């Protein structure tokens, strides 16, 4: 080889819209499994919201802002941790199962970050669903447990709709129930993303030859 010619390298892209659509298809196809993954988010967020409702109703009766006791915070932290571990576990399985598919993606031109993007979009969607469902279930559960004859519907309504009982920094004008939704979504999506990051990173880093050889 005398001369050293070079390729005219063009662009490689995966537009977000396309990635999103493919991630949706993946979720649809593996719906039941995805819902089981989402269940761990739902349980963790539901637990958090139930605790919040209980404290909110309690403190509305006492007339102060709600705050969790240290041991409640500790239990909450553990439950969130369990949730992340659960998600990581199921995402590791999902990645292993799709190893050959990832190898194929790379043969078609996917970059590492495209593989990462696909998994993270799926994680985000799981977090979204888990967050909303967890919020709903958490509030219902919290209400059932906090219901006492002396509280009454009016007291509970007051606790959930007044802006000050549970407030997010900078968003203290929102009714508590909306603040709880935002908090739930934030936590659910973060948990799901954190749990997915390591498996997705491993998937993205795979050498295509090895990925294609992989037997399930």
Partner 1 sequence: MKYEYTVETEDLAKYYTMGPAIVKALDGIDLRVRRGEYLSVMGPSGSGKTTLFNMIGGLDRPTRGRVYIDEVDIAKLDAYELAWLRCRKIGYIFQTFNLIPVLTAIENVMLPMIFAGVPREERIKKATELLQRVGLGDRLYHKPGELSGGQQQRVAIARALANDPAIILADEPTANLDMKTGLEIIGVMRELNQEKGVTVITATHDLKMIDVSDRIVYLRDGKVERIETRREIAIETEEI
DSSP string, 82-122: HHHHHHHHHHHHHHHHTHHHHHHHHHTT--HHHHHHHHHHH
Helices 99-107, 112-146: crossing angle, 10 deg rounding: 140
Is 210 one of the binding residues for partner 1 (CB under 8 A)? yes
Is 104 one of the binding residues for partner 1 (CB under 8 A)? yes
Per-residue DSSP letter, 148: -
Is 118 one of the binding residues for partner 1 (CB under 8 A)? no
Q: Which is nearer to partner 1, 6 or 150 (CB)?
A: 6
Instruction: Candidates 72, 100, 137, 168: give the one binding partner 1 (CB under 8 A).
Output: 100
Site for partner 1 in 7-46 (CB under 8 A): 7, 9-15, 18, 22, 25-26, 28-29
Q: Which is nearer to partner 1, 124 or 174 (CB)?
A: 124
Per-residue DSSP letter, 131: H
Helices 99-107, 70-97: crossing angle, 10 deg rounding: 60
Instruction: Candidates 89, 101, 140, 214: give the one binding partner 1 (CB under 8 A).
Output: 101
* Separation CA 27–CA 72 (nearest Å): 34
Is 93 one of the binding residues for partner 1 (CB under 8 A)? no
Positions that interact with partner 1 (CB under 8 A):
1, 3-7, 9-15, 18, 22, 25-26, 28-29, 100-101, 103-112, 114, 207-210, 212-213
């Amino acid at each position: 080889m005398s001369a050293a010619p070079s390729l005219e390298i063009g662009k490689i892209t995966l537009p977000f819209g396309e990635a999103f659509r493919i991630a949706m298809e993946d979720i649809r196809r593996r719906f039941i499994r995805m819902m089981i993954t989402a269940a761990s988010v739902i349980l963790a967020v539901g637990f958090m919201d139930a605790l919040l409702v209980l404290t909110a109703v309690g403190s509305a009766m006492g007339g102060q802002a709600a705050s969790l006791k240290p041991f409640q915070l500790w239990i909450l932290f553990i439950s969130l941790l369990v949730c992340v571990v659960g998600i990581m576990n199921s995402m590791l399985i999902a990645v292993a199962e799709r190893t050959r598919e990832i190898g194929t993606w790379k043969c078609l031109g996917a970059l590492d970050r495209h593989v990462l993007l696909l998994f993270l979009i799926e994680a985000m969607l799981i977090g979204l669903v888990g967050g909303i469902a967890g919020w709903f279930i958490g509030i219902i559960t919290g209400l059932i447990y906090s219901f006492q004859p002396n509280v009454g519907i009016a007291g509970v309504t007051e606790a959930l709709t007044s802006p000050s009982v549970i407030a997010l920094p900078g968003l203290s004008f929102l009714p508590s129930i909306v603040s709880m939704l935002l908090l739930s979504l934030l936590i659910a999506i973060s948990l799901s993303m954190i749990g997915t990051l390591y498996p997705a990173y491993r998937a993205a880093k795979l050498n295509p030859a090895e990925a294609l050889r992989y037997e399930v």
